[in-house]
Amino acid sequence: MTPTFQRIVLASRPKGAVLPENFRIETASLPELKEGEVLVRNHYLSLDPYMRGRMSEAKSYAASQPLDETMIGGTAGEVVASNNPKFSVGDKVVGMMGWAEMGVDDGRNLRKVDVTHVPLSAYLGAVGMPGMTAWYGLNQIIAPKAGETVVVTAASGAVGSAVGQLAKLRGCRAVGIAGGPEKCAYVVNELGFDACVDYKAGNLKADLLAAAPNGIDGIFENVGGEVFDRALSQTNAFARVALCGLIAGYNGEETALRNTRFLLTNRMTLRGFIVTEHMEFWPQGLAELGMLVGTGKLKYRESVAPNLAAGPEAFIGLLQGRNFGKQLVKLV
Amino acid sequence: MTPTFQRIVLASRPKGAVLPENFRIETASLPELKEGEVLVRNHYLSLDPYMRGRMSEAKSYAASQPLDETMIGGTAGEVVASNNPKFSVGDKVVGMMGWAEMGVDDGRNLRKVDVTHVPLSAYLGAVGMPGMTAWYGLNQIIAPKAGETVVVTAASGAVGSAVGQLAKLRGCRAVGIAGGPEKCAYVVNELGFDACVDYKAGNLKADLLAAAPNGIDGIFENVGGEVFDRALSQTNAFARVALCGLIAGYNGEETALRNTRFLLTNRMTLRGFIVTEHMEFWPQGLAELGMLVGTGKLKYRESVAPNLAAGPEAFIGLLQGRNFGKQLVKLV
């Protein structure tokens, strides 16, 4: 009997909001391991907003996710068979094996990780792509000085939570924006941000003015839309924007910016970025993030879906802000 | 009898469009020259879009123009009396003496210029602030490589005309955007741009696609609004925007940007700037611009109002795009 595993493929492209029927769960056969190949059992699958962009055919920075193929995605797991001298059975590895219980790789897309001080799942979050996204955008684009105010949207999420904590470590005032009092309480009380604005509370302008009384020097933007527009209007001269995501418009919603004049009058710098295009910073950044997580100075929270079949709903929840911290799917 | 001169003051702040009655022409008395002071007869007064911002009380990068005081503005003229050893009668000087026939300065805001190869008026245009604005935004923000496509709005204006010609000298494809067939013909036939799109022709999308068939790598933005939005949608990866002006919104019009997603998907860099905050580049830039004008490699055109009283209408025309090239007021 051929060994099999479960995977999730893109069944159709969403028209507007992502729906469960855009995905299909399938049973696939494991191929024979060729010379140099490694078989990995994935323990965790990472769900990230960028996947929404891949589901569309619209021009973006990356190729579209093909229909009927395994959904793209980062994974953390364990080597269960190896024809590659660089990997041994039992090695913990992160990779890009997609929404699947198992996968085969020639080793070039796998990275061994040390789980002595850092949990395996953290390599998909604070010590992985989301953490590096925070690290790069904050350090290489916003580059805040001590005493400056940094605002980050989706502040309780995997990226945003790291942005604010890293900003605090640099001596900044960290202001989060999140949806709902529970997330805001977490951002302030557990993550140590100076303030958090609940954008759902209906008092955005006054609340953001109160949270950033000295104006805004840096915006780490994950969402776009009205909240971003409001933040632009409260910037100081020479403010910087690290434009990381525009999740508010991922389903084609109108996200027009009306306050663009502040980009000029405040002589702002705005830069859109994709952290995987700056791999030269990853060794330094991941070392720092791993140290901070291992010593408890960088906290994170995870929302964990219990199995592969729960992946699509968890992803839809992520796009709607129902997750709380890094959204994972637990496979083992 | 005390010697007098004419000047124009801000009589009231515009509500929406600037009107002639926002200005008032006055006769003023010349003060006695104190030790170190210089009396200048202005030959040319520069009219520039930034003055519109100063007329409002809205928060901007500079203080508002006070009511009942001489309108701010760059000037080029001749020293007619001097109590300052650094300046002699007959010296040609540029300064910021405002909308006035004459003015007194302690010399710190005056710069002697050489009119052997460059006409005096050019020091208010191609070899002055507009030229430096073009030079800085193109070289320090867009920094185009040969073969890249640079789009500039208000292409027949004092700044835009220099941007495109400097881009051509760097081996770029220069695409102008201007209002009307006459301006577009000038931009292509006299200034040597590769193409010019008439945004008033009602075919912006197709015309810009045809003018920039390889996509847009740099946008030098003077106008904002719909044209800027359209250009954003045709950018290539890693495109740069030098945000110099948003004249489309200076009277409070809606200038929302709908295509902000391209800032992210194309990992663009956008920077707003004010060239007077980068004085360290002026000696190098002005030397280069003076050489290019003196040798005929950088062309420009002037719209000249015949006297001080004609200044307000000329300024209103500038804001409406009725000027053709650098707008000046001739005083002598």
Report the candidate in B315, B138, B224, B237 with the shortest Cα–Cα distance to residue A262. Answer: B224
Name residue A117's amino acid. Answer: H
Report the candidate in A71, A4, A77 with the shortest Cα–Cα distance to residue A40. Answer: A77
Q: What is the structure's pLDDT at B293? A: 97
Q: Within this chain, do residues B39 and B136 fall inside the same structural domain, yes or no?
A: no
A309 in contact with chain B, both atoms CB, cutoff 8 A: no
Residue A256: list chain B partners with CB under 8 A.
256-258, 260
Q: Within this chain, do residues B25 and B50 fall inside the same structural domain, yes or no?
A: yes
Whether A267 and B246 lie within 8 Å, measured CB to CB: no
Residue B285 lies in a domain: no
Within a 10 A sphere around the Cβ of B78, how many other Cβ atoms?
Answer: 17
B15 in contact with chain A, both atoms CB, cutoff 8 A: no
Domain with B324 in it: what CATH number? Answer: 3.90.180.10
Q: Within this chain, do residues A252 and A317 fall inside the same structural domain, yes or no?
A: no
Q: Within this chain, do residues B137 and B252 fall inside the same structural domain, yes or no?
A: yes
DSSP state letters, A147-173: T-EEEEESTTSHHHHHHHHHHHHTT-E
DSSP state letters, A225-286: THHHHHHHTTEEEEEEEEE---GGGTTS----BS-THHHHHTT-EEEE--GGG-GGGHHHHH
Q: Tell me which residue has tokens 């760097």.
A: B170
Q: What is the structure's pLDDT at B253? A: 67
**Structural domain that includes position B254:** 129-276
Least CA distance to A243: which residue of chain B? B264
* Pairing mode of beta strands A216-221, A235-243: parallel
For residues A126 and A135, give the distance between their C-alpha atoms in angstroms, rounded to a whole number: 10
A243 in contact with chain B, both atoms CB, cutoff 8 A: yes
Q: Within this chain, do residues B16 and B118 fall inside the same structural domain, yes or no?
A: yes
Contact B91, B110 (CB under 8 A): no
Which phi-psi region, left, alpha or beta, contains residue B188 (left: φ > 0; alpha: ψ -120 to 50)? Answer: alpha
List chain B residues with pLDDT less than 50: none
Q: What is the structure's pLDDT at A60? A: 63
Q: Within this chain, do residues A191 and A117 fall inside the same structural domain, yes or no?
A: no
Residue A194 lies in a domain: yes
Residue B234 lies in a domain: yes
The mean of the pLDDT values for chain B is 94
Residue A60: list chain B partners with CB under 8 A.
265
Least CA distance to A255: which residue of chain B? B258
Q: What is the structure's pLDDT at B246? A: 84
Whether B258 and A263 lie within 8 Å, measured CB to CB: no
Residue B82 pairs in a beta bridge with B38
Within a 10 A sphere around the Cβ of B259, how many other Cβ atoms?
Answer: 17
- CB proximity list for B44: less than 8 A, separation 6 or greater: B75, B76, B77, B120, B121, B124, B328, B329, B330, B331
For residues B326 and B120, give the distance between their C-alpha atoms in angstroms, rounded to a whole number: 13
Contact A242, A265 (CB under 8 A): no
Q: Within this chain, do residues A115 and A163 fall inside the same structural domain, yes or no?
A: no
Q: Where are the alpha helices (DSSP H) in B153-203?
A: 158-169, 181-185
- How many angstroms separate the Cα of B271 from the Cα of each of A34, A58, B98, B140, B242? 51, 26, 29, 10, 5
Domain with A219 in it: what CATH number? Answer: 3.40.50.720
For residues A189 and B137, give the distance between their C-alpha atoms in angstroms, rounded to a whole number: 44
**Interval B158-169: pLDDT, tens:** 999 999 999 999
Residue A296 lies in a domain: no
Interchain CB contacts (distance < 8 Å): A and B: 88
Residue B103 pairs in a beta bridge with B40
- Helix or strand holding residue B196 (H, E): strand B195-198
Q: Within this chain, do residues A150 and A262 fall inside the same structural domain, yes or no?
A: yes
Q: What is the structure's pLDDT at A325? A: 86
* Sign of the four-CA dihedral B175, B177, B181, B186: negative
Question: How does DSSP classify residue B187?
Answer: I
Residue A248 lies in a domain: yes
Q: Within this chain, do residues A234 and A305 fall inside the same structural domain, yes or no?
A: no
Residue B114 lies in a domain: yes
Q: Within this chain, do residues A268 and A150 fall inside the same structural domain, yes or no?
A: yes
For residues B146 and B187, give the distance between their C-alpha atoms in angstroms, rounded to a whole number: 20
B/e letters for B176-201, b = 16+ CB within 10 Å, e = fewer, are bbbbeeebbebbbeebebbbbbbbee
A297 in contact with chain B, both atoms CB, cutoff 8 A: no
Q: Within this chain, do residues B113 and B134 fall inside the same structural domain, yes or no?
A: no
In terms of C-beta density within 10 A (0-12 exposed, 13-18 middle, 19 or more buried), how is residue B270 classed? buried
**3-state DSSP assignment of residue B130:** helix
Q: Average pLDDT per run of 10 along chain A, which is 332 residues long? A: 90 95 96 95 95 82 87 97 97 97 96 96 96 98 98 94 98 97 97 97 97 98 93 98 84 79 95 96 96 97 96 95 91 94
Least CA distance to B228: which residue of chain A? A260
Least CA distance to A53: which residue of chain B? B265
Residue B40 pairs in a beta bridge with B79, B103
Residue A64 lies in a domain: yes
User: Among B276, B291, B317, where does a domain finish?
Assistant: B276
Q: Tell me which residue has tokens 């941000």.
A: A193
**3-state DSSP assignment of residue B194:** coil
Contact B40, B77 (CB under 8 A): yes
Instruction: Say how many Å lie between the first and final Cα of chain B, rounded.
Output: 22
Q: Which two tokens stand for residue A122?
A: 């953290």
Whether B61 and A224 lie within 8 Å, measured CB to CB: no
For residues A177 and A255, give the distance between their C-alpha atoms in angstroms, rounded to a whole number: 17
Contact B314, B8 (CB under 8 A): no
Q: Within this chain, do residues B28 and B74 fall inside the same structural domain, yes or no?
A: yes
Whether B61 and A237 lie within 8 Å, measured CB to CB: yes
Least CA distance to B226: which residue of chain A? A256
B119 in contact with chain A, both atoms CB, cutoff 8 A: no
Residue B330 pairs in a beta bridge with B44
The number of domains in chain A is 2
Report the candidate in A72, A271, A206, A190 with the shortest Cα–Cα distance to residue B263. Answer: A271
Whether A273 and B266 lie within 8 Å, measured CB to CB: no
B256 in contact with chain A, both atoms CB, cutoff 8 A: yes
Residue A290 lies in a domain: no
For residues B110 and B105, give the distance between their C-alpha atoms in angstroms, rounded to a whole number: 7
Q: How many CA atoms lie within 13 A of B233 on its CB side?
A: 14
